[in-house]
Amino acid sequence: MSEIRLKHEAYGWAQAFLGFVILALVLLGIGGTIYKIISPDGWVAVAFGRSLSAGVAALGSLLMVVALAWFSRGWPTATRRRTQFADLAVYGFAVAGLLYAVQLWIRGSF
């Protein structure tokens, strides 16, 4: 009986550890993406460095995508589709966090 309980506890600890690893990767992915956007050599600086009109167009299109995403979440959609999008966002940021961690390990910076 105690052997089965030990297996259940080990599984619970492994699952908790994996959850913390995914959480850390998601936070690193979100933070790294924000850093890549607003850093002095980031995506916005590169867009504005080319020309003012290109930078304004890039920021405008980014704001439009965010606004459309904000408004589209209110449309009646299936719950399954919403959870698939949320899973995709979470695991997408986890993959980005993993890529940022690898860059940080290899280069020493993002």
* Residue-level pLDDT at 95: 94
Q: pTM above 0.95?
A: no
Distance from C-alpha of 102 to C-alpha of 53, rounded to nearest angstrom: 34
Sign of CA dihedral 46, 48, 49, 54: positive
Ranges of the chain with pLDDT below 70? 1, 50-55, 71-82, 110
Distance from C-alpha of 46 to C-alpha of 70, rounded to nearest angstrom: 26
Q: Which of 71, 41, 46, 72 is nearest to 59 (CA)?
A: 46
Contact criterion met (CB below 8 Å) for 24 and 97: yes
* Residue-level pLDDT at 81: 66
* Residue-level pLDDT at 49: 72
* Residue-level pLDDT at 86: 81
